[in-house]
Structure 1
Amino acid sequence: MAVANSLMVSMQCDNSDLPSTVKAGNKAVEISNHQIPREAYGVLHRLAGRWPDIPDGQDLTITRMKGAMTNQVYECLWKRGQGKRPRKVLVRIYGENNDFLFKREDEILTFELMSKHRQGPLLLARFPNGRVEEFLKARTLSAADLRDPEISVSIAVKLREFHQLSMPGPQEPKIWQRLRDWLAKALEVGRREHNEEFQLNNLGHEISELERKLSKSDQVLGFCHNDLQYGNIMMNEDDGSITLIDYEYATYNPIAFDIANHFCEMTANYHSETPHLLDQSKYPDFEEQCRFIEAYLQSSGESVSQFQVETLVRETDAYSLASHLHWGLWGIISASFSEIDFDFEDYARQRFQQYHEKKSFV
């Protein structure tokens, strides 16, 4: 679909106009030996040509950014004249084999719609295996930021706004079908010991029982991010505004699932020496959950009762079980193909452990 952006560059690249080497930080880099595809350089050069304050579109500095679990992400920087700050864009190279987990065409469509509605970074260009995005003038949150009361309230308000977006397609929960699809894939690609340790052969029944228990006719649905960890939240430090990024897993779902997933992510620190380990002592207590959900509900401008707050708190707590299954299965599948230095198997082990420990109390 067309994107409302005058800088949009076509994804059709004619490789004949690309050199065999490019400049990167004033050094020649062999395209074939660099991790950014050759087609991406052509798009970047043509994009830079539209900015008159860049003296040399081929003189760019490329830095791999850490923390991405699904794609490869790079900061691309050009120097500008007259003492101006460098111009930056973000290049995202799509990860391989991710069709196991989500449909890339759905993620691209979601990103384009978010770009159009200014809910996330602008889409500047596309190429066959990735895209160029606006580099937001904001910082990515840290694990500690999620516990900051003021930042947490801002996230709650932004999440309510995100949930109320009108997106194409059926407005019905996708979590249950995704769990069944991922279970089938885990049984296909996982090792036999995974099946035994994680009781995968019995998990279909667990999913059905959980769906029956949690699904209610009056539950509130919304367009959910479904992966609201701190690395997918950015804050403009000038005005404190929040932007949610990375929509690979975004679908319609019960809003309680999205909030529950965010609470579960408070136990993670993906930039520690042991990024796969979860600290359950950091799961928000009842007071912290109430504060977040009260801010979420009050952002509509309506008065909210304590009963309404506590009702959504209880519903959210129950949906944490679905979050544990979701990311437990993700860990098993990712362990079979991902080359990222992350202990997916032990991460999955922790999520399944939390599911089994908690399910008797919900």
Structure 2
Amino acid sequence: MAPVISPVISPNLTNISRQHSSASGKSLTELLIGATGSSSSVQLADGPVEPVKAEGLRHARIRLEARHYKKPDFVHQFLEVASLLQIPSWNDPRIRPENVTIQRVSGALTNAVYFVSCTSSSKIPTLLLRIYGPSSGALISRPRELHILHKLSSVYRLGPRVYGTFENGRIEEFFDSTTLTAEDIRDSTISRWIGARMAQFHSVDIAEVSPPSDITGDGVIEASVKKCVSSWLTYAYETFALPAMPREVCQEIDLSRFEKEWKIYLQWVSKVEDMHSGSGVVFGHNDTQYGNLLRLTNSLETDEHRQIIVVDFEYAGPNPAAYDIANHFHEWSANYHGSTPHLLDPACYPTFTQRRNFYTAYIQHSNLLVKGAEDPVFDASDLDQLVAALDYQVRVWSPASHAMWAIWGIVQARDDVENSVAEPEFDYIGYAKGRMASFRQEILDLGVIQR
């Protein structure tokens, strides 16, 4: 997908002093409500933001204004939230506002991420503060993301812990870590760690982690890539209908043609997918690009692969295991910090040797492909068969990754098109064109359609 600046990294925090301000006149009862309690919508400068809550998480009825993070009142309000949510070490009344530093590290002012630290004690952990901005909800659902994040961390100890929510955001665990780079994920050792970590995610109970909406009344779990493409197409057509959208772009991508190709492709997949070799639906992250993968700085984990932390679960949900792996392999071709961040470089796609290295670690830690003890030992023949079968299923689902992100790119381009941005920060249309071309080339190579 398009680049994101990972917020959960070890920062060089700048000391920004905050002065004490007057206390709020609201009572504790008014401010602290249960996760299922009701609350009216709140307003930021650019539009409404509904409170997002999850069962089992404390919620504070306080709103933090993203644009005011440099003002004295902001740090005092943050300390109120931290106290109400009973965040370990931060609910100490002895913490003074002037000892709190706040650094904005990513996002727009109305959809921002901050590191919050206390300079008076090294024992008080740094926190990650996330303030939501207005969103159409066309691409992601914050309630869904919060539910998944909370379940993963509380039940499986995967991903950052969520300490609680407030009216327009949440506070999360901070990891002393570094974000992986485009070069890092190509390292053979790190790639094995990622494979092992992905296998652990794929082994969680979907019913435990996913929202009830992911599971139909008859217990059927539909792949989220199918749901996303179907629902996002509506918004893609709306983007293409904008007067400022270049007609040549619409003609090149040709959404009507894509819909027909997508239907033919899914019919083909239904005939070749193997539920025992990678096409079984699992809980997938679905966006394991290098910017969403962290490496702990001072890891004490005995299992080396556990020093890899996966963050940002906006697109997480049920998908074939092979789809999630295929999507990760496509991210090998991306360099979001290069001169052409919107283009994938096919020459960087992992070779079979590199894929086999990943598969071996994945298979050894998978509860789906291998039953029994962790780190099982295979003879060469058995392992080769498992690798070959998985690699084919990854190839089967590879076009789906291109398709989903192509439609995503079109939807993301809407703001730039509407505002006639001549030089957008990221070329979403160029990205969509590239991914769509790759989708069509791959279904041709697979024999799904004839030239």
TM value normalised by structure 1? 0.84
> Residue 288 and residue 58 in structure 1: after superposition, are their counterparts in 2 closer, same or farther (change >3 A)?
same
The whole-number CA distance in structure 2 between the counterparts of 1:245 and 1:54 is: 32
Matched residue of 1:234: which SS?
A: strand
Structure 2 counterpart of 1:195, which letter? Answer: C
Amino acid at match of 1:315: Q
What is the Cα deviation at residue 226 of structure 1? 0.7
Does the 8 A contact of 2:206 with 2:282 survive in 1?
no
Contact 1:324 1:351 in 2 (8 A): yes
- 1:175 is aligned to 225
Name the amino acid aligned to 1:267.
S
Per-residue CA distance 1:14-53 (angstroms, 9 max, x = gap): 89xx9x977x5xxx5575xxxx9x9757424756774549
Contact 2:184 2:190 in 1 (8 A): yes
Partner residue, 1:350: 434
CA distance in 2, matches of 1:64, 1:255: 35
Where does 1:136-215 land on structure 2 (aligned, <5 Å)? 136-168=175-207, 169=212, 170=215, 171-190=221-240, 191=242, 193=247, 194-215=249-270
Partner of 2:7: none
The amino acid of 2:394's aligned partner reads T
Q: Could you say which residue in structure 2 is the equivalent of 1:77?
A: 117
Give the CA deviation at 1:269: 1.9
Question: Would you say the 8 A contact 1:80–1:87 is kept in 2?
Answer: no
Give the aligned residue type for 1:253.
Answer: N
Secondary structure of 2:137's partner?
Answer: helix
* Contact kept in structure 1, 2:83 and 2:91, CA below 8 Å: no
Any conservation in 2 of the 1:43–1:125 contact (CA below 8 Å)? no
CA deviation after TM superposition for structure 1 residue 131, in Å: 0.8
Q: Check whether the contact 1:45–1:58 (CA below 8 A) recurs between aligned residues.
A: no
Q: Which has the larger radius of gyration?
A: 2
The alignment yields a C-alpha RMSD, in angstroms, of 3.0
| C-alpha contact (below 8 Å) 1:67/1:231 kept by paired residues | no
1:130 aligns with 2:169: yes
Q: Deviations over 1:171-230 (max 9, x none)?
A: 332211211111121002334534322110122111111111123363322100111111
Partner of 1:334: 412
Q: Aligned residues, how many?
A: 343
CA separation in 2, counterparts of 1:232 and 1:268?
13
Inter-partner Cα distance in structure 2 for 1:160 and 1:124: 26
* Partner residue in 1 for 2:134: 96
SS, match of residue 329 in structure 2? helix
Q: Deviations over 1:275-332 (max 9, x none)?
A: 3232221111111111111211122434342122011112112312110111111111
Matching residue within 59, 64, 70 for 1:10: 59
- Shift of residue 94 of structure 1? 2.8
Q: Which amino acid aligns with 2:431?
A: Y
- 1:65 Cα deviation after fit: 2.0
* Paired position in structure 2 for 1:258: 324
8 Å CA contact 1:256, 1:312 repeated in 2:
yes
Q: CA deviation at 1:78?
A: 1.9
**CA distance in structure 2 between the aligned counterparts of 1:293 and 1:332, rounded to whole angstroms:** 32
Identity rate of aligned residues, in percent? Answer: 31
Counterpart check, 1:297 vs 2:366? no
Given candidates 284, 297, 306, the residue that maps to 2:350 is 284
Corresponding position: 1:221 with 2:281: yes
1:315 alignment partner in structure 2: 393
For normalisation by structure 2, the TM-score amounts to 0.69
How far apart in 2 are the matches of 1:75 and 1:206?
45
CA distance in 2, matches of 1:10, 1:308: 46
In structure 1, C-alpha distance between the alignment counterparts of 2:79 and 2:445, rounded to whole Å: 54
Relative distance call for 1:164 and 1:125 in structure 2 (3 A) is: same
Q: Is the 8 A contact 1:54 1:80 kept in 2?
A: no
Q: Quick one: structure 1 residues 248 and 14, their matched pair in 2 at CA, closer, same or farther if it must change by over 3 Å?
A: closer
In structure 2, relative to structure 1, the CA distance for the partners of 1:234 and 1:197 (3 Å cut) is same
C-alpha separation between the residues in 2 aligned to 1:59 and 1:286? 53
Unaligned runs of 5+ in 1: none
